[in-house]
Structures are given as structure tokens and as C-alpha cells.
Amino acid sequence: MRCLLPYVLRKQRMMLKFGLRLSFVTILLATGCQLPYSFPKPGEPQALVKLRRVYSRSDGTHLREAAFIGDMVVNDHRVDASLTAASTVPMPIRPVEASWNLVTNFHHFETRTFQESYLVSTPYTTTRSESYSCGSGYGATASYRTCSRTVTSTSYRHETRYRTVTRTVAVTDAACSVLFTFTPVVNAEYLLQHNFDGPNACTVSCFRQQSGNDGTFSSKPCWTSEFRAGGGKVR
């Protein structure tokens, strides 16, 4: 889901003029925005995970690569689609069971027009009749009378208007999302290899790695207690 936080914050600034307020938590829930993943600090229990992405093809002009653990963002960035050489990113991960989601999205950008709503404060005039004392004289000669007069006042109401706006949007050319449950072991090293072969055609493989004294690695498939396909939600 695209994060709409900047758009909603602009809306909230407008709403504040009219005395309306949304809490930050409400905004996060309403906009589909995620909090960043909290990587373990040195000295805390952790496992080393190397996330490797391999592409057999590319589409569009830009590539979005994203990784989520639960509802938290591990990384989310865009690169030029021509820069799709295999890459490996090592990162410390907390050794707890969690749902992972790896997202790949090749896309290009187009300029499109949309109808957008906005609020305006519109003045309007109201009239009312009010009474007042209009007597004369004092004491025994006083005359008591009540008169009326028309009073005009200006108030404001909030009206919804619409306008046509032009925006640059990302248009998907080929995308894939792969879900899995991963439970790394403390101090272990892993390789998660994500292969993209086309639209809705991607896989992820998990390998437990052992470092050798000569700088090489030996790899073996992860146990089912460490890695299972599925277990997340598509983004």
C-alpha cells in the first residue's frame, strides 16, 4: 500500500483551521504507513541475514525493492531499472519468528489528471430581530417602551469544492510479492535468496551458512523450523 501520510498531513493542516484534529496514530492507521524495523543493537541477541536479490529480467524505467517484517519496513527504495545486477545486503535481525514480505515492482512514471476535493470557508449573512428598551424621561415622567431592530451578522460555513490536479504517478509494469515465515537462530548466519523471473513469478530460498577459516562459506537449506513459505499479507 502506498503511504499517504504527506497527503493527509496537508489535509490535516487545512482541517486545523476549522478546529478539526486527527491523532498521529489515527493518521498512520488511515494512510497505510509502516514504522521502520528496529534492528538489534550490538550486544543484543541477533542473527546475520544476507538478503540477495537476483533478476532474470527487467521492465519499465524504475525498480522498487522493499522488505517488510510484520508491519515494519526493513528497507524500501527505488533504483534505475537498468541497475538490476544481483546484490546482497547483510543485516542483523532479531531471532524471533516473524512474517516476511519481499516486494519487487518494476514501473514507469506518467502524468495524469485527477479530481481532488478541498474545503473552503465561505461567508454568509444572517439577519435577526432583537428588542431593546427605547423609553424616555426619568422618575415620574418616565415612559417605558420596548422597540425592535434588525441586526445583520456575518458567519462562515465549510464547503467542499472540487478541482482538477495533475500528478506524476507510478504505473506498474511487472511486480511480485513473496511471503514467508522466518525464525532465525541466535548468532547464526543465513542467506535469503530472492529470484524474480517475471510478473507474479518470484521465489525465495533460505540457506544456513557456516564461515570457513579461509573466508569461504558452506551452505545448507534451512530447517522447516526456521523457514516456511506463506504466513504474511500481500502489500
pLDDT of 13 > 80? The answer is: no
Report how far residue 138's alpha carbon sits from residue 64's, in angstroms, rounded to the nearest whole number: 87
Specify the amino acid at residue 161: R
The answer to whether 104 touches 58, Cβ cutoff 8 Å, is no
Confidence of residue 28 (pLDDT cuts 50, 70, 90): very low
Which of 110-114, 201-205, 215-219 is predicted with the least confidence, judged by mean pLDDT? 215-219
When pLDDT is averaged across residues 1-28 and rounded to a whole number, the result is: 50
Q: Three cell numbers at 198?
A: 517475471
C-alpha–C-alpha distance, residues 120 and 153, integer Å: 19
Reported as a pLDDT band with limits 50, 70 and 90, residue 197 is very high
The residue among 188, 172, 226 whose CA lies nearest residue 204 is 226
Helix (H, G, I), strand (E, B) or coil at 1: coil
**pLDDT computed for residue 29 by the predictor:** 44
Q: What pLDDT band is residue 1 in, cutting at 50, 70 and 90?
A: very low
State the pLDDT confidence band at 24, using cuts at 50, 70 and 90.
Answer: very low
Angle, vertex CA 183, rays to CA 181 and CA 185, nearest 5: 160
pLDDT, tens only, 29-68:
444 567 899 999 999 999 999 999 999 988 889 999 999 9
**Per-residue model confidence (pLDDT) at position 171:** 94
Reduced 3-state DSSP string for 29-77: HHHCCCEECCCCCCCCCCEEEEEEEEECCCCCCEEEEEEEECCEEEEEE
Domain ranges of the chain: 1-33, 39-116+163-229, 122-159
Q: What per-residue confidence (pLDDT) applies to 220?
A: 94
Long-range contacts of 184-188 (CB under 8 A, 24+ apart): 184/47, 184/49, 184/93, 184/95, 184/226, 185/47, 185/95, 185/226, 186/45, 186/46, 186/47, 186/95, 187/46, 187/47, 188/47, 188/48, 188/95
Give dist(CA 206, CA 219) in Å, integer.
Answer: 10
**With 60 as the cut, is the pLDDT of residue 20 above it?**
no
Q: Are 197 and 56 in contact, with CB atoms under 8 Å apart? A: yes
Q: What is the pLDDT of residue 178?
A: 94
Taking only the tens place, the pLDDT of each residue in 70-117 is: 999 999 988 898 877 888 999 999 999 999 999 999 999 999 999 999
What does the alpha-carbon distance between residue 52 and residue 220 come to, in Å, rounded to a whole number? 16
Q: Which residues contact 223 (CB under 8 A, 6 or more apart)?
A: 208
Confidence bin at 125 (pLDDT 50/70/90)? very high
Whether the full predicted model's pTM is greater than 0.95, yes or no, is no
Condensed to tens digits (0 to 9), the pLDDT of residues 130-149 reads 998 887 877 777 788 889 99
pLDDT above 80 (res 168): yes
